[in-house]
Amino acid sequence: MQQMIELDRLDRKILCELERDAHLTNIKLAERVGLSPSACLRRVQELERIGVIRGYKAVIDRSLLGVGLTVYVTIGLSCHSKESLSQFEDVITATDEVTECHTITGSVEYLLRVEVADIKSYKKFHTDVLGTIPSISSITSFLVMDTT
For the chain, what are the domain ranges? 9-49, 62-143
Q: Do 9-49 and 62-143 agree at the fold level?
A: no
Q: Is it true that domain 62-143 has CATH number 3.30.70.920?
A: yes
pTM of the model: 0.76
User: What was the pLDDT predicted at 59?
Assistant: 83
User: What was the pLDDT predicted at 116?
Assistant: 98
CATH number of 9-49: 1.10.10.10
User: What was the pLDDT predicted at 142?
Assistant: 99
User: What was the pLDDT predicted at 106?
Assistant: 95
User: What was the pLDDT predicted at 1?
Assistant: 67
User: What was the pLDDT predicted at 3?
Assistant: 83
Alpha carbon separation from 26 to 42, 44, 95 (Å, rounded): 10, 9, 37
Exposed/middle/buried for 43, CB within 10 Å: 0-12, 13-18, 19+?
A: buried
pLDDT, block means (10 residues), the chain with 148 residues: 89 97 96 98 97 92 91 97 94 96 97 98 98 96 94
Q: Residues in the chain, how many?
A: 148
